[in-house]
Amino acid sequence: MRLSRYFLPLIKELPTDAAIASHRYMLRAGLIRQNAAGIYSWLPLGRRVLGKIEQIVREEQNRAGAVEMLMPTIQSADLWRETGRYEAYGPEMLRITDRHGRHMLYGPTNEDMITDIFRSCVHSYKGLPQMLYHIQWKFRDERRPRFGVMRGREFLMKDAYSFDLTREEARRSYNRQFIAYLNTFARLGLKAVPMRADTGPIGGDLSHEFIILAGTGESEVFCHADLVEMPAPGHVDFDGDLQPLVDARTALYAATDDMYDADEFAKIPQDRRLSARGIEVGHIFYFGDKYSAPMAAAVMDGDGRPVHVKMGSYGIGVSRLVGGIIEASHDDDGIVWPKTVAPFGAGIINLKVGDEQTDKVSRDIYDRLAVAGIDPLYDDTDDRGGVKFSRMDLIGLPYTVTVGPRGLGDGVVEVKTRATGDRQSLPPGAAIRFITGEFA
RNA sequence: CGGAGUGUAGCUCAGUCUGGUAGAGUACUGCGUUCGGGACGCAGGGGUCGGAGGUUCAAAUCCUCUCACUCCGACCA
């Protein structure tokens, strides 16, 4: 992409309304614009990041055996009345009346709807297990939206739902998502720690929150430091026994403040005790027949008797992750995107647009990086050098190639690694090989 | 929902107490000089002062109502 043709509205001043780093940088770097409290437009750069995160989540869901579908944002109140949640949910649910006076709502979640779909389509245990997911915009009318997309009212969620005949089989579905989450967050460049969670109003007795550690986290967390350093499982056989992998991740103590037990925490060796602030980016739980019973979602078992399916649901806050990643990865100059989610893989700064040689070399590097799938952003504007450098730092692309007459006089360009600040002078060909190698 | 604030130029804000021709910086446009880490000079364009009503000869400023947004707290399948 050529910057001169891109839409990248940056803000130089510190936005006074934004209290935390991710919110400030998302506004300043032109990722989002607020339209109403807790409701944002995703500008081109932000849309790219959101899409990359979404795609990684999708790939890991597919790998774990989940099947993608899509449910609507607007739902009829009828299903919610069946489960009693229409009355129970409270003012966080945005209620809408259509032209015929029918009660509708902007979905805050989809358990009721997916259960309805399932019950009308699957009637035999032979149709189990089943794991469906969708990535969809949701709305919760938060009393006080804040922190930009971290606590917005409209937000993008991945929600998966599992259906099994027995609790034991449901546990296997739960484990599949558990492992998929570890791999997903690792690919996003995050250290996410699973923590035993309160199952809350939705009920059930098997639940974990996935928390990333960041100074501005919304809640305090306590855990064994080894958990943070444990590598993700990576490629595993999702049809095999995942229990040992899950056990390894749940044996050590980890809890959010509402589940905190000082005595348990004290049992951790002193130098391994970690108390920090965390951001919840995923939540998985098993809730059995909480919805299948009231909604009569049953299948015939092998003996011809109807059994309410055992369900679980598994959420990842996709839009929240954009803010979460920035909270975990930024410095005084701007965002530092992990390679896997960066809106562009590399930036190219042409310091003297209009100069035959810098134009040619810049263009050549651009073409070759593009062919290599790096998806470069070429700064071909006639802004001054300083403006270009600080702009690249702000938007946080992993690598920047600077092409200027001075360097080209010696046959070199400069490659800067955003995360470390390292700069190396290399011939153009070596610079391209270095960057493509980093993405291999 | 309790508490505290803020709405004036695209953005950041001053002016409101004490009513009297709407300002600064930045951004933007033009010209010139600059050009390897957010340049400089000159000239210019841009605001029904969140909205409605009221008081007054006169309202950004005083009064009433209202809307929006922000921050702290509580809340947060």
Sketch the domain layout of chain A as residue ranges: 10-334, 346-439
CATH node for A346-439? 3.40.50.800
Residue A257 is predicted with a pLDDT of 82
* Residues A393, A334 contacting (CB under 8 angstroms): yes
Distance in Å, residue A93 CA to nucleotide B66 C1': 25
Whether the per-residue pLDDT at A400 is higher than 90: the answer is: yes
For A80-153, strand residue ranges (E) read 94-97, 103-106, 130-139
* Residues A192, A217 contacting (CB under 8 angstroms): no
pLDDT, one tens digit per residue, over A140-155 is 999 889 899 999 999 9
Asked if strand B contacts A387 at the CB level, meaning under 7 A, the answer is yes
Whether the per-residue pLDDT at A202 is higher than 60: the answer is: no
Whether the per-residue pLDDT at A200 is higher than 70: the answer is: no
| A399/A417 Cα distance (integer angstroms) | 5
Q: Is A234 exposed, middle or buried (0-12, 13-18, 19+ CB in 10 A)?
A: exposed
Distance in Å, residue A395 CA to nucleotide B73 C1': 34
Give A43's pLDDT tier (boundaries 50, 70, 90). Answer: very high
Task: Please state the CATH superfamily assignment of the domain spanning residues A10-334 in this structure.
Answer: Bira Bifunctional Protein; Domain 2 (3.30.930.10)
pLDDT > 90: percent of chain A: 86
Give A13's pLDDT tier (boundaries 50, 70, 90). Answer: confident
Which carries the bigger pLDDT value, residue A202 or residue A101? Answer: A101
Whether the per-residue pLDDT at A199 is higher than 80: the answer is: no
Give A17's pLDDT tier (boundaries 50, 70, 90). Answer: confident
User: Strands A206-213, A192-196: parallel, antiparallel or unpaired by DSSP?
Assistant: antiparallel
Average pLDDT, chain A: 94
Task: Measure CA to C1' and name the residue nearest B73.
Answer: A144
User: Strands A330-331, A310-317: parallel, antiparallel or unpaired by DSSP?
Assistant: unpaired
The CB density around residue A250, as the number of other CB atoms within 10 Å, is: 15
Residue A220 is predicted with a pLDDT of 86
| A399/A374 Cα distance (integer angstroms) | 10
Say if the ipTM goes beyond 0.85: yes
* Residues A183, A166 contacting (CB under 8 angstroms): no
Whether the per-residue pLDDT at A325 is higher than 80: the answer is: yes
The CB density around residue A423, as the number of other CB atoms within 10 Å, is: 11
pLDDT > 70: percent of chain A: 98
Whether the per-residue pLDDT at A306 is higher than 90: the answer is: yes
pLDDT, one tens digit per residue, over A205-245 is 589 999 998 877 878 899 999 999 999 999 999 999 999 99
Distances (CA, A) of A189 to A185, A195, A313, A324, A326: 7, 19, 24, 11, 11
Residue with tokens 């001043």: A13
Fold agreement between A10-334 and A346-439: no
* Residues A321, A403 contacting (CB under 8 angstroms): no
Whether the per-residue pLDDT at A69 is higher than 80: the answer is: yes
| A272/A223 Cα distance (integer angstroms) | 8
Distance in Å, residue A6 CA to nucleotide B29 C1': 21
The DSSP annotation for A369-415 comes to HHHTT--EEEE-S---HHHHHHHHHHHT-SEEEEE-HHHHHTT-EEE
| A139/A74 Cα distance (integer angstroms) | 10
* Residues A18, A396 contacting (CB under 8 angstroms): no
User: Strands A273-288, A206-213: parallel, antiparallel or unpaired by DSSP?
Assistant: antiparallel
Nucleic strand B contact set for A 307-366 (CB, < 7 Å): 313, 315, 333, 351-352
Which carries the bigger pLDDT value, residue A259 or residue A6? Answer: A6
Nucleotide nearest to A425 (CA to C1'): B36
Residue A328 is predicted with a pLDDT of 93
Residue A219 is predicted with a pLDDT of 82
Phi-psi region of A38 (alpha: psi -120 to 50; beta: other; left: phi over 0): left
Whether the per-residue pLDDT at A201 is higher than 70: the answer is: no
Range A353-381 average pLDDT: 97
Residue A332 is predicted with a pLDDT of 92
Structure tokens at A109: 């979640």
Distance in Å, residue A379 CA to nucleotide B29 C1': 23
Residue A203 is predicted with a pLDDT of 52
Give A19's pLDDT tier (boundaries 50, 70, 90). Answer: confident
The CB density around residue A100, as the number of other CB atoms within 10 Å, is: 5
Asked if strand B contacts A95 at the CB level, meaning under 7 A, the answer is no
| A335/A326 Cα distance (integer angstroms) | 6
Range A12-34 average pLDDT: 90
User: Strands A310-317, A273-288: parallel, antiparallel or unpaired by DSSP?
Assistant: antiparallel
| A320/A232 Cα distance (integer angstroms) | 21
Asked if strand B contacts A414 at the CB level, meaning under 7 A, the answer is yes
Q: How far is CA A46 from the centre of its chain?
A: 13
Give A261's pLDDT tier (boundaries 50, 70, 90). Answer: confident
Whether the per-residue pLDDT at A27 is higher than 60: the answer is: yes
| A428/A411 Cα distance (integer angstroms) | 8
Range A411-427 average pLDDT: 98
Nucleic strand B contact set for A 249-308 (CB, < 7 Å): 283, 285
Asked if strand B contacts A218 at the CB level, meaning under 7 A, the answer is yes
Distances (CA, A) of A108 to A72, A75, A145: 11, 10, 15
